[in-house]
Structure 1
Amino acid sequence: MSEIQAPKEIFQRLEADVVDQRVALEQISVALYKHLSDIKVGNIMLIGNSGTGKTTIMRAIERMFESNIGLGSFLNTIRLNANIVSNDESTETESSVIVERLHQNALKIMGDHPDPERFRQLMEHSVVFLDEVDKIRAYVGDKANPRGILAQEALLTLIEGEGISRPLTVKNADGTLVQHKVHIDTGRILFICGGAFEGLYDMVYRRVASGETKDKLIQEYVVAETQEDMEQKEHFSLHDYVRYEDMFDYGMTPQFLGRFDEVIVLNDLTIKGLMRIFIEPHNSLFREARRYFRSLGIELQVSKEGVREIAETAYDNHRLGARALRMVFKRVMRGIEFDPHTNYLVKDQGAKKVLTITREMVQRYS
């Protein structure tokens, strides 16, 4: 085990990169802590619209492993699109796509010093992130989806924990090559699957609003035009209402979904969250832009009003989530990046060149 002593420490590391997803990160941190402690842990299913942070979460996990010297046996992480897993009609081939990727990645990590025990650890301690898992649903509408059924069956075999043997060639001290057969328990691999699950929101809302189940829509009171006027407003959050039965109806088979301990719904991003994403993460758009302008001898700044305007404009394209930030910011910076010295620069008292992105600039160029 590493120097990480509690799930809260994992949460703090992930939160540096992932904004506005506190509840999801808490659940993921517990699962990762169990995985690092070699305690049996169920897998994780993430539900979230495009741009809400599914891929960002996986990248944050990768960075945590890479930056912690005590987590050397957990470096084997891969990201795959679920459609790649379901490309072949052979279930054996489908499951081996993941195993082969993990195998090759483990060899790359070990480099010129392959070792059977380290190889086993890298394989069994790996984390597999499958994106767009909603695309391998067992049926779409009233029609069966054979590829989805095959993919779920193949993944189920792997997730349940099949024992496999993988070849590893090791060079002895005398230069001779010896091939080992290393036994791998795939049941120790942690799977994090994610998808947008388009249509699930409407499907669950219809179920709850129908009144045919025990779930009832939450009614909350909000202030209308005056303090004396109050009106009732329905509150619906997919996180509060989604059930395993809804996932079955969507097309995820009970056998497959039964291997996931957590079904986590990511929050849709707020304007405040988009503002933080634009500024705070180590690889944020703003930090990237600052590095670029520093190479030109210019200090890039942005006013608080400018950040809010970028976030508000991106929020209008909510289906893109955080990706809308890049679209908006690139429109603003297109001409400025090419020729920042024309009409944009001011000098401070130290004669340092400063470029400040204001609300007016965002409105003008976005």
Structure 2
Amino acid sequence: MLAWRARQLRILTRGLRTQTRYEYVPRDDMDDHPYMRPAGLATPRQLVQYLDEFVVGQEKAKKVLSVAVFNHYNRVHANLSSLSPEEEPGAMDWSETNVDDVRSGVSSARLHPHPHRISSSIPLQTRHPVPLFEKSNVLVIGPTGSGKTLLARTLARVLDVPFSVSDATSFTQAGYVGEDVDMAIHRLLQAASWDPHRASTGIVYIDEVDKIARKSGGTGMEGSRDVGGEGVQQALLRMMEGSIVSVQGKSPSPADTPSAAGPEGRSRPGQRGANAPSSKSDTYHIDTSNVLFILSGAFVGLDSVVKRRVAKGSIGFTANLAPSEESNSGSFLPFFTPNRGSSHNMLDLVEPGDLVKYGFIPEFISRLPSITTLAPLTIPDLRRILTEVRGSLISQYTALFGYSGVEIRFTSSALNEICRKALERGGGARGLRGIMETLLLEPMYEVPGSSIRFVLINEAVVQGKQPALYWNKSDGAAFWTAWAEEESLAEHTAS
């Protein structure tokens, strides 16, 4: 009796397992998996490595933009594939009951098999569809000349997608003098060679977005409409979230259409407008649901808003009071954003509430979930911009003089002095170019068409104590000797 019960128990429990029989070993041939990365799309690390060749520093902003672009096109790939599912025949209904299980008295648990185990010929119909991922637009905050526009333009070179650049200062609310916000999509369609499908998966970059902040009161126009500030923000809301934008295409040029002009190009009398061809242009409808928006601006004064929020109020003899230059509202503001940054960048602490106080409506800020900041450039950063990155300023001016058959050299002390003056002047990398133009004005005027073949710029020349040093073609040895002496003197002074 006990032996018969043991045999029956073995029959009932022979198919039960507490551990999986096969491990979930990932396969390499998973190209049809809906969550796989599209072929040809660079990883965020590869995008950052590409940006490092052109942009100095700003590691956080590079990571944020690279991740945003990578996730955006993964999202576009997943959303487009989910909208057009492929219907495969031979669907297997996993809810059907197995006849053998009924005969043995054991019912199936109706567990769905792992996707890696099923054959490619049998689709898994009960698998959940790919969700529609939401879009994460990016807001880039940084001082003038810190590389905001350069980051976006550099990403445009490596990405095979349409890319358009617009300036928010020219935008006004619809119906007023200026550009409508639809012009950003119009430029994107132009960059896509008038292909609406490619334009609907492109990138729109809007610079100087801080200029459309809501204007504060005190001007006596509180009742008037802010058509260049809040009106533009409201017009951008639906476009950034996703809407259908109608764009007028390129109209046929007069040269491409038959005209009523004579053989000499003159109009024949009496036929003006009678047989004139229709100049109606094509209308394109662009869906901005898959368009990534990158907005940037200097946001001058935003650091003061953050400081007021972070500062802790107190009373008494030991109260922490704000510095006099911050409390004085009539203090002088420099024309350029200074390159000197404090030990801690206050803009790193920015929150959406600070941007609302700065003048943006909450609906606009909520459509920019990803916010990154750029730090002011330091002297080592300016030195790398001068000499190391691709398309550095020194390489540009060296090639410019090379077109005239002239070789120009800068000593190390001269480069350090240029960076020091740029730090005091402000304006970031743009300040460097302004100093270089002023410094090389006389050499660029004197050298072309003369017998000069060598130019040396040392520290005294940068300081304005002496003019640039020139040598003729036969004095090449003296030029190299003078340059070597300047370098050895700089090394001796540094040690």
**Category of TM-score, reference length = shorter chain:** 0.7 to 0.9
- Within 5 Å, which residues of 2 pair with 1:257-268? 257-268=365-376
Match of 2:433 in 1: 326
For the 8 Å contact 2:146–2:428, the answer to whether it is kept is: yes
Aligned pairs for 1:225-236 within 5 A: 236=344
For residues 42-191 of structure 1, the aligned pairs below 5 Å read 42-65=136-159, 71=160, 74=161, 76-86=162-172, 88-89=174-175, 94-107=180-193, 119-141=195-217, 143=222, 145-164=226-245, 184-191=286-293
- The answer to whether the 8 A contact 1:35-1:125 is kept is no
Give a deviation string over 1:158-208, Cα, whole Å, max 9, x none. 111013456779xxxxxxxxx987653202111111111111111211221
Identity of aligned residues (%): 29
Candidates 56, 64, 89, aligned match of 1:27: 64
Larger proportion of helix: 1
> What one-letter code is carried by the residue in structure 2 that aligns with 1:364?
G
Label 1:159 to 1:341 Cα distance change in 2 as closer, same or farther (>3 A). closer
Cα deviation for residue 140 of structure 1 reads 2.3
TM-score (norm 1): 0.76
1:196 is aligned to 2:298: yes
- Does structure 2 retain, via aligned residues, the 8 Å contact 1:81–1:130? yes
1:363 equivalent to 2:363? Answer: no
Residues 41 and 287 (structure 1), Cα distance of their counterparts in 2 relative to 1, 3 Å cut: farther
- Asked whether the equivalents of residues 137 and 292 of structure 2 are also in contact (C-alpha less than 8 Å), the reply is yes
- Contact 2:165–2:184 (Cα < 8 Å) also in 1: no
Cα distance, 1:90 vs structure 2: 5.7
Once the two structures are TM-superposed, the CA of residue 91 in structure 1 deviates from its matched residue by 12
Q: How does 1:237-248 map to 2 (within 5 A)?
A: 237-248=345-356
Secondary structure of 1:139's partner?
A: coil
Query: How far does residue 248 in structure 1 lie from its aligned partner after superposition?
Result: 0.6
Change (3 A) 1:24 1:161: same
In 1, Cα distance between the equivalents of 2:45 and 2:396? 29
Q: Which amino acid is the alignment partner of residue 362 of structure 1? A: V
Q: Which amino acid aligns with 1:29?
A: S
381, 389, 408: which one aligns with 1:281? 389
Report SS of the residue matched to 1:364.
coil
Q: Which residue of 1 aligns with 2:311?
A: 209
In structure 1, list runs of 5 or more residues that go unmatched: 66-70, 109-118, 170-178, 218-233, 346-352
Q: Is the 8 A contact 2:239 2:245 kept in 1?
A: no
Mapped partners of 1:148, 1:166: distance in 2: 23
Cα distance in 2 between the residues matched to 1:249 and 1:32: 29
Aligned mates of 1:41, 1:24 — CA distance in 2:
18
The alignment covers a number of residue pairs equal to: 311
Q: 1:269 maps to which residue? A: 377
Judged with a 3 Å threshold, the aligned counterparts in structure 2 of structure 1 residues 330 and 249 are, in CA distance, closer, same or farther, namely same
Residue by residue, what CA displacement relative to the aligned partner does 1:253-291 show, whole Å, maximum 9, x if unpaired?
111111112111111010111111122333322121011
Partners of 1:165 and 1:94 in 2: CA distance = 12
Q: 2:54 corresponds to which letter in structure 1?
A: D
What secondary structure does 2:165 align onto? strand
Please give the alpha-carbon distance, in whole angstroms, between the structure 1 residues aligned to 2:175 and 2:389: 41
How far did 1:323 drift? 1.0
Distance across 1 between alignment mates of 2:344 and 2:243: 40
CA contact (8 A) 1:45 1:263 kept: yes
Q: Which of the residues 281, 286, 302 maps onto 2:410?
A: 302
Name the CA distance, whole Å, in 2 between partners of 1:283 and 1:13.
Answer: 14
Q: Within 2, Cα distance between the matches of 1:41 and 1:104? A: 23
What is the letter of the counterpart of residue 286 of structure 2? I
SS in 2 for 1:192: strand
Q: Aligned partners of 1:302 and 1:242: how far apart in 2?
A: 41
The separation in 1 between residues aligned to 2:363 and 2:215, in whole angstroms, is 15
Q: Is the CA contact (8 Å cut-off) linking 1:7 and 1:29 kept in structure 2?
A: yes
User: Is the 8 Å Cα contact of residues 173 and 227 (structure 2) preserved in structure 1?
Assistant: no
Distance in 2, Cα, partners of 1:332 & 1:2: 49
Residue 265 of structure 2 aligns with which residue?
A: none
Cα displacement (A) at 1:3: 3.0
Deviations 1:314-365 (A, max 9, x none): 00012x12111011111110101122389996xxxxxxx5433222221127
- Equivalent-residue separation in structure 2 for 1:146 and 1:308 (angstroms): 47
Higher relative contact order (CA 8 A, sep 6+): 1
Larger radius of gyration: 2
Question: CA-atom RMSD, angstroms?
Answer: 3.1
SS at match of 2:206: strand
Whole-Å Cα distance in 2 between the matches of residues 237 and 141 of structure 1? Answer: 29
**Residues 5 and 327 of structure 1: CA distance in aligned 2, closer, same or farther (over 3 Å):** closer
Contact 1:91 1:151 in 2 (8 A): no
**Matched AA of 2:436:** F
Deviations 1:78-98, CA, capped at 9 Å, x for gaps? 111102222654699723222
